[in-house]
Chains A and B, each alone.
Chain A
Amino acid sequence: MESPSDAPASAPSGTTPGLMGPATILPRCATGIEGLDNILEGGIPRGNMVLVAGSVGTGKTTLSLEFLVRGAERGERSLFISVTEASSKLIQNLSTFEFFRRDLIEQGSLVFVDLPVIYDRLGLGEEELTGEEIDILIRTIRDLVRSLGAQRLVLDSLTSVCYRIRKDEQIRDFMLRLGQELNELGCTSLLVSEIGPNPARYSLHGVEEAIVDGVILLWNTRRFGDILRVVQIVKMRGTSHSRAQYVLELTPIGILMAPHLKGGREGGP
């Protein structure tokens, strides 16, 4: 199914390729967050699997939820797989934003699934997942996306899933296969990664960021003691993008972004 944001091989709506533009512009999945779409030259290339990495309180879940709500508004079925927090609580928090529409859930455009419930139904235990169980998990997510016709997926969080997949090679295999399955289904996905405040890497094992197509990094920074939320696109395959830092604010109408002022100083997570 072609969605409204599946632009032909020309500049996505609202952007121009410019003098340094690529020969072909891949169809985009507009996040609906204007600042993010601007720095991604129209949105995430459709079918990309993107890591949203950040420490606590940086806005990872809110950004991911807005991505889904904006997609559902555009007629793209959107799926949220929650690992750590009950969906009911997430929906309650989401209802504080003006952009949230409960009717999107009622009409099935925005679907929430709790992964622990899936674990239970599949009979997957509490401990480390075996190779066979990882295979079952990938197929279950794929079948869910396929049966719903979901074009957007958020897994919150990948970190919690990876706690149960201990070996690097198994994580690599899980990520590669999940990414491939979702890409074949035309589903653009955000995988939330919880990291510390001063990370040396963007994920639990450091393997994940090498596999994904994109990394959106969020962190808190201090200026004169005040905390600012900052976002930066570290990597995004299939598009050129800004590498600058932006301050992000979670407002009732959605996420807004402004350039991170430096005043001649360096800044970073």
Chain B
Amino acid sequence: MPIDIGERLRGLPTGSAVALKIDPREYADHYFAVLNATLRDVGSETNAHTIYVAVTNPAAFVWTLAQALDVPIDRISFVDAISHIMMNYANPLPNATYVESPRALEEIMLRVEYLLRKYPHPRSIVVIDSVNSLAIHNPPELLSEFFHILLNNLKSRSVLTLVLETVEEEQTGVEQMLNLVVDETIDVARAGR
């Protein structure tokens, strides 16, 4: 029986860390289902503030999709770690902060921290899009350390953390590493959309 991602996420205890597995063969459908569930079903319906860490696609692209889902500008902020490296940040978004490189993992942590402090909210969500993109730029030891520290920090502050993961054909160790740090994995392919 297909699962409803939004319902699953809403039912999680505060401070949970969840991996959302996306099938690359159905990337567009799965990605939109994830955005719909996180930004609209969970974000808007629970009146939460979402901090979206954009590493796969630039914040401007995700913001366009978020607008299509009627997400208000004061309910989402971006940590964009990809536009700089693409030399594509001439028109910065008012609700985004830009990190120079996806290799600056501490800076990503600090920008998330900055946004959590700047926009204190009873319910916050952090979306990391994605573990695979971070793995392209960072060695596995650094990435494991990053996720271990960040996710524990967010858990202690009752922040729901969602990590997007594209399922890879070959074993790269990313999946194993993520399994060690998240509380739950949701396979988007099994979810009803």
Contact = CB atoms under 8 A, between A and B. Distances in A.
Contact of B114 (A256, A259, A262, A263): A256
Interface string B127-155: 00000000000010110011001000000
Interface string B85-124: 0000000000000001101111101110110011000000
A259 B109 CA distance: 9
Chain B residues touching A, majority SS: helix
A107 interface: no
A256 B110 contact: yes
Contacts of B113: 256, 258
A216 B139 CA distance: 30
A263 B142 contact: yes
A263 B145 contact: yes
A228 B146 contact: no
A80 B108 CA distance: 33
A263 B106 contact: no
A226 B114 CA distance: 20
Contacts of A224: 101, 103
A261 B114 contact: no
B104 A251 contact: no
A228 B110 contact: no
Contact of A253 (B106, B114, B139, B149): B114
Given A263-B139, A263-B141, A223 B103 contact: yes
A261 B101 contact: no
A247 interface: yes
A264 interface: yes
Contact of A247 (B100, B101, B107, B117): B107
Contact of B109 (A223, A258, A262, A264): A258
A261 B142 contact: yes
B114 A247 contact: no
B106 A251 contact: no
Contacts of B104: 226, 228
Contact of A226 (B100, B110, B149): B100
B106 A258 contact: yes
Contacts of B139: 263
Given A263-B145, A264-B141, A258 B110 contact: yes
A249 interface: yes
B78 to A, nearest CB: 16
A253 B141 contact: no
A260 interface: yes
A261 B110 contact: no
Contacts of B117: 253, 256
Interface string A245-269: 0010101010011111111100000
B142 to A, nearest CB: 4
13 contacts: A224-B101, A228-B104, A228-B107, A247-B106, A247-B107, A247-B110, A249-B107, A251-B114, A253-B118, A260-B106, A261-B149, A262-B145, A263-B145
Interface of B: 100-101, 103-107, 109-111, 113-114, 117-118, 139, 141-142, 145-146, 149
Given A224-B103, A247-B106, A259-B106, 11 more contacts: A223-B103, A228-B107, A247-B107, A249-B111, A251-B110, A256-B114, A256-B117, A261-B105, A262-B142, A262-B145, A263-B139
